[in-house]
Amino acid sequence: MTTLRLMCFCTLLLRSLMGQCQVIDSSETNLAKAKVLTFFSSELNENRKIFIYYPRTDSQYISQTSYPVLYLMDAEEQLGMVMSQVIYLSESYSILPPMIIVGLGNIDRTKDLTPTHSITGNNGKDDTSMAATLRTSGNGEKFLGFIRTELMPYIQKQYKPSPFSVFCGHSLGGLMSVYALLKHPDMFSAYVAISPSLWWDEQYTLRLADKLAVDFKSKKLLFISDGSEGAQFHKDLLHLDSTLRRKNLSNLEVKYIHYPNEPPHPAEPVKATYDALRYMFNPVYPRSLIH
């Protein structure tokens, strides 16, 4: 067979095979992407990157006209994983309800996700070097103020969500989630703190929990977890769980899960985020809205 004949044969074969294939429009798949916004914050006096995922409306499992909102810290690292779980479990099945996901980007993570200024690391030692990442810590109140007074009104106006909202974070993000529950319980309906850094500033948030004297005005859900990080993380989580249960708060429901056999700190959100969302939502409606 000459080279020319061989080329012609291969071309015909390729056309034949292509005729048996269906080209799938990517817009019809579950490979949804979040909308990326540059949001100027007067509270923070800077531009912030915000990622917004809105549910598909053509799935047979989606019939609602308004959706709960998941506010997710550390969006650059966590958003892809969390979006994939929510999309798969809501748009393909009704295991989770569809929800809006608002991913919060950070310019300075330590600055945003710490409630107080401290230069003491989790090893108990102060870092006074010029390169210390803790030097900028303690801007957590302004970060929450940005969410409360600027971002949440924007989401409410643009997307008309349901009243149920979740604040979710890991590590320092988990610290901010616990802090927000204790200091600003009316901001969200539910709080997720995955391996929260409760060691921060000599267990500052644990001391806040110890001083909590009154019940919350409305029903709140708290999911907390830790993995195989070590004794201090586990001890702090046990302290928080026992403190809140001892106070017998009628409007707070706490779920604590320890994952001793899971991979350490960075990988825990894969398991814990799923468990948190399954805990907070039944197949169709948020738990707190059906009690």
Q: Is the pLDDT of residue 267 over 80?
A: yes
Q: Is residue 242 part of a domain?
A: yes
Q: Is the pLDDT of residue 23 over 80?
A: no
- Please choose, from the candidates 81, 121, 136, 134, the residue with its C-alpha nearest in 3D space to the C-alpha of residue 103: 81
- Please choose, from the candidates 151, 116, 122, 157, the residue with its C-alpha nearest in 3D space to the C-alpha of residue 137: 116
CA of residue 30 relative to chain centroid, distance: 20
Which pair of structure tokens corresponds to residue 280?
A: 């907070």
Which pair of structure tokens corresponds to residue 228?
A: 């195989």
Distance, in Å, from the CA atom of 222 to the CA atom of 205, rounded to the nearest integer, reads 14
- pLDDT grade for 66, boundaries at 50, 70 and 90: confident
Q: Number of folded domains in the chain?
A: 1
Q: Is the pLDDT of residue 47 over 80?
A: yes
Residue 88: Cβ within 10 Å count: 13
CB of 120 closer than 8 Å to CB of 126: yes
Strands (E), the chain: 35-41, 46-53, 69-72, 100-104, 165-170, 190-194, 220-226, 252-258
For residue 14, the model assigns a pLDDT of: 38
Q: Is residue 9 part of a domain?
A: no
- pLDDT grade for 286, boundaries at 50, 70 and 90: low
The SS3 of residue 191 is strand
pLDDT in tens, 111-167: 999 999 998 888 888 877 756 788 899 999 999 999 999 999 999 999 999 999 999
For strand 190-194 and strand 165-170, is the pairing parallel, antiparallel, or unpaired? parallel
Residue 54, judged by CB atoms within 10 A of its CB (0-12, 13-18, 19+), counts as: middle
Q: Is residue 125 part of a domain?
A: no
258-278 mean pLDDT: 89
pLDDT in tens, 158-217: 999 999 999 999 999 999 999 999 999 999 999 999 999 999 999 999 999 999 999 999
Q: Is residue 13 part of a domain?
A: no
Domain that holds residue 235: 31-119+132-283
- pLDDT grade for 55, boundaries at 50, 70 and 90: confident
pTM score, whole prediction: 0.85
Q: Is residue 20 part of a domain?
A: no
Q: Is the pLDDT of residue 13 over 60?
A: no
Q: Is residue 259 part of a domain?
A: yes
Distance, in Å, from the CA atom of 211 to the CA atom of 230, rounded to the nearest integer, reads 26
CATH number reported for the structural domain that contains residue 140 in this entry: 3.40.50.1820
For residue 31, the model assigns a pLDDT of: 41
Q: Is residue 209 part of a domain?
A: yes
- pLDDT grade for 2, boundaries at 50, 70 and 90: low
Q: Is residue 12 part of a domain?
A: no
